[in-house]
């Protein structure tokens, strides 16, 4: 007789993970190393020191240690907003009339509004521990910038955020949250960096992009004494920190003897998806269990489903190392009507390798359908989801409806990464029936691929 499943499963503090899980340790095919764009040689610890914090570089390069202790200070910060609930979507199941059992891990119950805080506090902690004055970063939709501002305010670190210009203008309130936490926020591209001035000279009317904001933030970090650059997604270290999501999910499921069949996450740079699936992927890699993993991305920015698995620049200004990943080319910018986040041109090297090896699936969805799913979810489950998270909702609903057809009572777990309170501009477009879809043509994608650097097979 199985235990009755509550609407929300909260772990006790004592059940919270004390270590992050490093999925690379269990990967037979390790993700390809970062390369120095000048020499095309793997980046070493010393190569990376001007840009990143020392301990974070160690984590970035470590592909053998399976478990890494979470420092006490970070554990205490986690206790302020974690554990996050694993929610049984009883109301959504009833609405869909599906035999499927749907669960979501909800990471939005904190002021950053998303899972980003899990890595922000870790990166800020290591920066502080190294005796740095501050950190620089970029932000797109603003979730990462908010999370980093919160972590820096807590630790007393300076925080400088380059915010993609169109977001800066469309989301003045996101900017104010960061300012309330004491961060300085600069619209990117800006005149404050050399790379920003160069981009502005070449593209005077540009609305900015994540790749461009990254270039500016890296330059700002390397030109100030006592500063380093930090990044909210894509990197191995970020996926490592985000495994608290998956580890908590796994403990919560095991507490109630629940075995998931399908695990679904939205994918921009891969931080949430990687964090959610890593512990489960570990079991699959070790041959202990099998699960279906589904990455969901926007049809307007389809790096997994239509990108190339190749070395590419992580930023527009080409100041960062090269990473091997599924990419649309570092010059790729989603069409102007794109509203749903997940707009990065590349993808985590770890997830790219796992996808390349056939260990996970990927699908792309169009944004109008995503917002329809978001609205349906909001009305029955109460939570107004972030557009990013709603990509996962859309596919979770699709899978639950397949179960309705086949009569299978599959267990579906998805990551609800955050809330949409600062995305009402996009919701307004949807509410007014003004939202449109766009799928890039093969020709458009080809143009992006032409910017890929030539890297000999290693």
Chain contacts with a second copy (rule: CB under 8 A): 6-8, 10, 12-13, 79-81, 91, 109-111, 113, 150, 153-154, 172-173, 176-177, 179-182, 375, 378-384, 419, 421-422, 424-425, 427-428, 430-431
Instruction: Compute the least distance from the CB of residue 375 to a second copy, in Å.
Output: 6
Cβ closer to a second copy: 150 or 325? 150
State the alpha helices, DSSP H only, in 37-136. 45-48, 54-61, 72-81, 90-96, 117-129
Distance CA 366, CA 261 (A): 25
Name the residue nearer to a second copy (CB basis): 432 or 450. 432
Q: Which is nearer to a second copy, 25 or 91 (CB)?
A: 91
Cβ proximity to a second copy, 171 vs 391, nearer residue: 171
Distance CA 243, CA 20 (A): 6
- Contacts of residue 33, defined as CB under 8 A and 6 or more positions apart, other chains included, come to 42, 43, 61
Pairing of strands 19-21, 67-69: antiparallel
In the complex with a second copy, which residue's Cβ is closer, 85 or 302? 85
Nearest Cα residue to 453 out of 320, 312, 316: 312
In the complex, what is the shortest distance from the CB of residue 171 to a second copy, in angstroms, rounded to a whole number? 10
Query: Cα(376)–Cα(394) distance, rounded to whole angstroms?
Result: 10
Distance of CA 269 to the CA centre of its chain: 5
Choose between 21 and 106: whose C-beta lies nearer to a second copy: 106
Q: How far is the CB of 233 from a second copy (least distance, A)?
A: 21
Q: Residues near 159 by Cβ (< 8 Å), separated by ≥ 6?
A: 134, 135, 137, 148, 149, 152, 153, 178, 181, 182, 183, 184
**Cα dihedral value 298, 422, 242, 93, nearest 10:** -70
Measured from the CB atom, the residue of 240 and 386 that comes closer to a second copy is 386
C-beta of 191: minimal distance to a second copy in Å?
22
Please state the closest distance from residue 273 (CB atom) to a second copy, in A: 24
CB of 407 to a second copy, least distance (A): 26
Q: Are 346 and 312 in contact (CB under 8 A)?
A: yes
The least CB distance from residue 384 to a second copy, in Å, is 4
- Are 277 and 414 contacting, i.e. CB atoms less than 8 angstroms apart? no
Cβ-based nearer residue to a second copy, 45 or 173: 173
Return phi, psi of residue 2, to 5°. -85, 150
Provide the angle, in degrees to the nearest 10, between the axes of the packed helices 236-255 and 54-61.
70
Integer Cα distance of 305 and 446 in angstroms: 14
Our CB check for a second copy shows the closer of 177 and 213 to be 177
Closest approach of Cβ 430 to a second copy, in Å?
8
Residue 222 corresponds to which tokens in the numbers above?
Answer: 């390397």
Taking the complex as a whole, the smallest distance from the CB of residue 187 to a second copy amounts, in Å, to 16
């Amino acid at each position: 007789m199985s235990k009755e499943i509550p609407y929300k499963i909260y772990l006790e503090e004592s059940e919270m993970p004390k270590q992050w899980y490093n999925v690379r340790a269990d990967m037979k095919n390790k993700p390809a190393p970062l390369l120095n764009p000048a020499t095309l040689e793997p980046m070493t610890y010393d190569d990376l020191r001007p840009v990143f914090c020392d301990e974070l570089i160690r984590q970035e390069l470590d592909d053998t240690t399976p478990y890494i202790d979470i420092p006490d200070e970070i554990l205490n910060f986690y206790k302020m907003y974690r554990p996050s609930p694993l929610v049984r979507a009883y109301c959504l199941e009833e609405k869909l009339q599906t035999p499927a059992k749907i669960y979501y891990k909800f990471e939005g119950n904190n002021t950053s509004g998303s899972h980003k805080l899990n890595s922000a506090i870790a990166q800020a902690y290591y920066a502080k521990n190294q005796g740095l004055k501050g950190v620089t970063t970029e932000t797109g939709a603003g979730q990462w910038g908010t999370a980093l501002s919160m972590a820096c305010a807590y630790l007393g670190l300076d925080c400088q955020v380059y915010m993609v210009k169109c977001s800066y203008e469309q989301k003045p309130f996101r900017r104010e949250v960061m300012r309330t936490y004491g961060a300085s926020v600069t619209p990117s591209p800006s005149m404050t960096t050399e790379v920003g001035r160069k981009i502005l000279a070449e593209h005077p009317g540009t609305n900015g992009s994540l790749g461009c904001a990254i270039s500016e933030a890296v330059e700002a970090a390397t030109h100030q004494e006592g500063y380093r650059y930090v990044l909210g997604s894509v990197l191995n270290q970020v996926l490592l920190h985000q495994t608290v999501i998956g580890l908590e999910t796994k403990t919560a499921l095991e507490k109630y003897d629940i075995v998931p069949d399908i695990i679904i996450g939205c994918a921009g740079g891969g931080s949430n998806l990687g964090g959610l699936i890593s512990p489960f992927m570990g079991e699959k890699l070790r041959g202990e269990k099998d699960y279906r993993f589904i990455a969901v991305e926007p049809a307007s920015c389809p790096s997994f489903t239509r990108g190339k698995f190749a070395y590419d620049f992580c930023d527009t200004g080409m100041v960062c190392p090269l990473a091997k990943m599924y990419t649309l080319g570092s010059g790729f910018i989603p069409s102007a009507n794109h509203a749903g986040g997940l707009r990065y041109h590349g993808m985590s090297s770890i997830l790219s390798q796992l996808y390349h090896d056939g260990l996970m699936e990927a699908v792309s969805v169009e944004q109008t359908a995503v917002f329809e799913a978001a609205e349906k979810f909001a009305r029955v489950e109460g939570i107004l989801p972030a557009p990013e998270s709603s990509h996962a909702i859309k596919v979770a609903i699709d899978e639950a409806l397949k179960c309705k057809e086949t009569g299978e009572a599959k267990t579906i777990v998805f990551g609800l990464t955050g809330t949409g309170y600062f995305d009402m501009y996009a919701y307004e477009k949807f509410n007014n029936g003004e939202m449109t879809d766009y799928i890039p043509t093969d020709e458009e994608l080809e143009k992006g691929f032409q910017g890929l650097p030539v890297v000999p097979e290693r």
